[in-house]
Amino acid sequence: MPLFVNAAVTATGQREFRSQAYEQRLSLSFLHEYVRVNYRSVSASSLALDINDHNAARIVEQLLRTAGDASAEQKRAEGRLIAARLAVLPPQRVYRLFRTLRAAKVNNRRTRAILRDWLAARPDLGHDAVKYRSGLKTAARHAHLPFGKGEFGDFLFRPGKRVRYDHGFLEAYRRAHFEQSAVYELPFTVAEGFAAKHGVAREAFLERIAPRMTRLERLRTQAAGTRTELSVMPLTRLALYVLSLERAERLRRRAELTGALRAAALRAAGPYAGTLGRVAAVLDDSYSSSGSGVKRRRPLAVALGCHSLLEALAGSYRAHWTSGSADPLLVRPWGPTPLGTRILTPWSTPPSGW
């Protein structure tokens, strides 16, 4: 079972440095099916663990696909676990799961009830109708939701029927087709398309839409990197941001970036900061840490995050990068992976600032 849990925490079915996406998906599919068939309760119970979203959605899908294999008691337990997990999954992933279930023709009573309960708990269906329109339409059809009448039904299935909507997001979406000011009342991903349609300059659009952007959206559009953003960024994502900067930029902002990494590591360490005693780590910054096209520099970011976290946890800490680098802030994917050499090489004094 540790193999399954470890895969559910780390594997994403995406391309890696040494393997293609289809190889990852094939191995992961076999592992999920083996555990579900032979240890169904373990598969369901793993939804309560800190597994990643990809595997959580896969487990939910397989449990709902094979409802006939479960006893009444198992179904009750699975229903509670599924509902709790869906509540914390990103909405776009849940809507994608609903589309997968519809394509697989999984439409049993339990599936419809779970879907209806999840939608009923959404904070604003108007926001979902605008931002996840196709997903909400698929879910409404699949679960036979009563959207046939009212403005939600008109918006989803009969666009253009109404000349005005009472819900703010629906009305803003209608107006945005011909009124530029309404664009800035919409979620960022929806507003982007309308801004391009109206020919709004990218810089001007990003400046005006900034109050409606999430932290991750600001990062993706490179409107982030401010001290405020860095102060609340999770450790691994902050490490990815640092590694995305050019060497000269990292050097110029050394104090700021180093301080942000240390602060994020201390938040992650919590009450365990400084409790591990003497720690030495061999950290991989070899060429393979460049990752893949879908996970650019992700392995190196994890290594940099581990470096910062171990520094926060340890009373005395030594880092050995496989490249021989003595400056964690300037690491880059380069060279082979001489793990043994780094273990045997004496540690030298790190540069000031670390």
Which residues, in sequence order, are CB contacts of 261 under 8 Å at separation 6+? 235, 238, 239, 242, 304, 308
**Spatial CA neighbour of 180 closest among 198, 205, 202:** 198
pTM: 0.78
DSSP per-residue codes, 153-221? HHHHHSTTS-S--SSHHHHHHHHHTT-HHHHTTS-HHHHHHHHHHTT--HHHHHHHHGGG--HHHHHHT
**pLDDT for position 342:** 73
**pLDDT for position 295:** 78
> CA dist 45 to 2, 30, 67, 78, 100, Å?
13, 18, 15, 8, 22
**Token pair for residue 17?**
């440095």
105: left (phi over 0), alpha (psi -120 to 50) or beta: left
Residue with tokens 């959605």: 57
- What integer best gives the mean pLDDT of the chain? 88
- Partners of 278 in beta bridges: 316
**Spatial CA neighbour of 64 closest among 53, 74, 51:** 74
How crowded is residue 75: how many other Cβ atoms within 10 Å of its Cβ?
A: 14
232 versus 126: the higher-pLDDT residue is 126
Per residue in 283-340, pLDDT (tens digit) is 999 888 888 777 788 899 999 999 999 999 999 999 999 888 889 999 998 888 877 7
Contact (Cβ atoms closer than 8 angstroms) between residue 59 and residue 9: no
Report the alpha-carbon distance of residue 70 to residue 130 in Å, rounded.
37
Per residue in 199-249, pLDDT (tens digit) is 999 989 988 998 888 877 876 676 445 555 777 788 998 999 999 899 999
Average pLDDT of span 103-121? 91
Beta pairing, strands 316-321 & 278-283: parallel
**pLDDT for position 210:** 87
Report the alpha-carbon distance of residue 275 to residue 53 in Å, rounded.
31
Phi, psi of 317 (to 5 degrees): -130, 140
Which residues, in sequence order, are CB contacts of 233 under 8 Å at separation 6+? 215, 219, 241, 260, 264
**Spatial CA neighbour of 57 closest among 7, 119, 8:** 8
